[in-house]
Amino acid sequence: MTPPVKAAVFGTGSWGTAFGMVLADAGCDVTLWGRRPELAEAVNSTRTNPDYLPGVELPARVRATTDPAEAAAGADFTVLAVPSQTLRGNLAAWAPLLAPDTVLVSLMKGVELGSAMRMSEVIEDVTKVPAERIAVVTGPNLAREIAARQPAAAVVACTDESVAQRLQAACHTPYFRPYTNTDVVGCELGGAVKNVIGLAVGIADGMGLGDNAKGSLITRGLAETTRLGHAMGADPLTFSGLAGLGDLVATCSSPLSRNHTFGTNLGKGMTLDETIAVTKQTAEGVKSCESVLDLARRHGVDMPITETVVGIVHEGTPPLVALKELMGRSAKAERR
Ligand SMILES: NC(=O)C1=CN([C@@H]2O[C@H](COP(=O)(O)OP(=O)(O)OC[C@H]3O[C@@H](n4cnc5c(N)ncnc54)[C@H](O)[C@@H]3O)[C@@H](O)[C@H]2O)C=CC1
Ligand SMILES: O=C(CO)COP(=O)(O)O
């Protein structure tokens, strides 16, 4: 009998824990790594993660540790689920502990500030593991819904399709349906930019704008994401798939989305500091809007919605002023 696939999940927040459940339900033995001993202890003794997924019973195959070496040992898949801006520092400490042929899997939807690197690029840069052993899981996967075992589809992307297929098998359950894709650039960009568009839609909702505004922001947001992706060598069709449109629709419609909620609070008139104070979890778009705009400028791509979000979040532009500027841009043909 072949032994169960072993997975380490670094990050015991909402998505790390929920994806750990998916892996366990698919038959993997899962070790979660977390910083805080009391949380690891709670996972092991109560089979719950009271801080991030209260009330959800974790499968018996999920356990937790604060020892990164223990988590990493012998892992077929090493899953990374910490906030994007903390990845480089954390991974530098974990890199020497990684199992020799492990596949590194990013669950993160951000772009690094300063370097403008996607998370798979940061992983390659820090660990020197080749791109063919680095995969990404993305798509419309709100952690709370997955933890309730509500149905969702997802994308597992890797430049080596056979690696994507192995990961697909390791996380396929009756409620979680992963599709493979080899367009890692497109899949990662879709996940990171949808957070920025989610902020924009949240701001619009908070301002009391209607569903026409929402539909317009989602569609034009997807257009600017696709423009950036095309300039960076992604397949434009990726953006009409789960990593693009799928995730955008889920994020922009759901009160469970932290980015959407963050934007809504800003749109209602809360200051950035007030909004940060009431946000308990990672809203990647808040920082990544700046690195996405950085990427856009490096590639000479116009991203007006992203620019508007940066203006509101980081430059103190009042939402009403930003709206007027966005609507007042010069007239264009839709596809240019
Ligand atoms: N929650 C969701 O529905 C989904 C989240 N994601 C992505 O997954 C990534 C992780 O997000 P969540 O788990 O939702 O965030 P979270 O805020 O629920 O949890 C973050 C985890 O990282 C830990 N952490 C925070 N700062 C750290 C540091 N400096 N070093 C080490 N650990 C640190 C926290 O203690 C916590 O365990 C993000 O990139 C997010 O965009 C992707 C899909 C769905
Ligand atoms: O990525 C997500 C859903 O796919 C989660 O979105 P938030 O990070 O905005 O909560």
- Proximal ligand: closest to the CA of 112: 1
Ligand 1 contact, 89 CB (< 6 A): no
Whether the per-residue pLDDT at 336 is higher than 70: the answer is: no
- Is 333 part of any domain? no
Those residues whose C-beta lies under 8 Å from the C-beta of residue 163, and which sit 6 or more positions away, are: 103, 132, 133, 135
Name the residue with the closest Cα to ligand 2, atom 6.
257
- Is 145 part of any domain? yes
> Are 121 and 214 part of one and the same domain?
no
Ligand 1 contact, 282 CB (< 6 A): yes
Ligand 1 contact, 142 CB (< 6 A): yes
Q: In what order do the strands lie in the sheet with 77-80?
A: 62-65, 29-33, 6-10, 77-80, 103-106, 134-138, 152-157, 176-181
Residue 39 exposed, middle or buried by CB count within 10 Å (0-12, 13-18, 19+): buried
Show the ligand 2 pocket: residues with CB < 6 angstroms: 109, 140-142, 195, 198, 247, 250-251, 257-260, 284
Q: How many domains does the chain have?
A: 2
Name the residue with the closest Cα to ligand 1, atom 20.
13
> Are 246 and 201 part of one and the same domain?
yes
> Are 160 and 251 part of one and the same domain?
no
> Are 10 and 111 part of one and the same domain?
yes
Q: List the alpha helices (DSSP H) in the chain.
A: 14-25, 37-46, 68-72, 87-94, 119-127, 143-147, 161-170, 184-206, 211-231, 247-253, 258-267, 272-278, 285-298, 304-314, 319-327
Ligand 1 contact, 252 CB (< 6 A): no
Task: Kindly report the number of other CB atoms within 10 A of residue 160's CB atom.
Answer: 16
Q: pLDDT per residue over 159-218, tens digit each?
A: 999 999 999 999 999 999 999 999 999 999 999 999 999 999 999 999 999 999 999 999
Q: Tell me 111's DSSP state.
A: B
- Is 266 part of any domain? yes
- Is 1 part of any domain? no
Whether the per-residue pLDDT at 74 is higher than 70: the answer is: yes
Query: Is 194 a residue of the active site?
Result: yes
> Are 168 and 24 part of one and the same domain?
yes
- Is 334 part of any domain? no
Q: Which residue among 194, 268, 280, 332 is the active-site one?
A: 194
Q: pLDDT per residue over 124-169, tens digit each?
A: 999 999 999 999 999 999 999 999 999 999 999 999 999 999 999 9
**CATH code, 23:** 3.40.50.720
For 54: left if phi > 0, alpha if psi spans -120 to 50, otherwise beta; the answer is beta
- Is 332 part of any domain? no
> Are 157 and 190 part of one and the same domain?
no
Single-letter residue type at 87: L
> Are 92 and 233 part of one and the same domain?
no
Ligand 1 contact, 107 CB (< 6 A): yes
Model confidence, pTM: 0.98
Residues of the chain above pLDDT 90, percent: 98
Residue where a domain terminates, one of 182, 214, 243? 182
- Testing ligand 1's pocket by substitution, the residue of 9, 65, 82 carrying the most ligand atoms inside 8 A of its CB is 82
Can you name the residues that pair with 276 across neighbouring β-strands? none
- Is 42 part of any domain? yes
Per-residue tokens: 264: 């809504």
| Phi, psi (rounded to 5 degrees) for 62 | -100, 125
Whether the per-residue pLDDT at 65 is higher than 80: the answer is: yes
Q: What is the enclosing helix (H) or strand (E) of 54?
A: none
Can you name the residues that pair with 180 across neighbouring β-strands? 156
How far apart CA 179 and CA 192 sit, in angstroms, is 19
pLDDT (0 to 100) of residue 1? 77
> Are 13 and 148 part of one and the same domain?
yes
ipTM over 0.90: yes
> Are 189 and 160 part of one and the same domain?
no
pLDDT (0 to 100) of residue 124? 98
Name the residue with the closest Cα to ligand 2, atom 2.
142
Q: Tell me 195's DSSP state.
A: H
Residue where a domain terminates, one of 154, 182, 210? 182
> Are 28 and 177 part of one and the same domain?
yes
**Cα 330 to ligand 2 centre (Å):** 32
Per-residue b or e along 167-179, where b marks 16 or more CB atoms closer than 10 Å to that residue's CB:
bbebbbbeebebe
Ligand 1 contact, 141 CB (< 6 A): yes
Enclosing domain of residue 52: 6-182
How far apart CA 263 and CA 269 sit, in angstroms, is 10
Do 17 and 49 touch, CB atoms closer than 8 A? yes
Mean pLDDT for all residues in the chain: 97
Ligand 1 contact, 259 CB (< 6 A): no
Q: pLDDT per residue over 104-119, tens digit each?
A: 999 999 999 999 999 9
Residue where a domain terminates, one of 135, 151, 182? 182
> Are 213 and 152 part of one and the same domain?
no
Q: pLDDT per residue over 250-288, tens digit each?
A: 999 999 999 999 999 999 999 999 999 999 999 999 999
pLDDT (0 to 100) of residue 158? 99
**Cα 251 to ligand 2 centre (Å):** 6
- Proximal ligand: closest to the CA of 201: 2
> Are 175 and 315 part of one and the same domain?
no
- Is 103 part of any domain? yes
Name the residue with the closest Cα to ligand 1, atom 39.
108
Token pair 């997955």 is found at 146
DSSP 290-328: HHHHHHHHHTT---HHHHHHHHHHHS---HHHHHHHHHT
Name the residue with the closest Cα to ligand 2, atom 5.
142
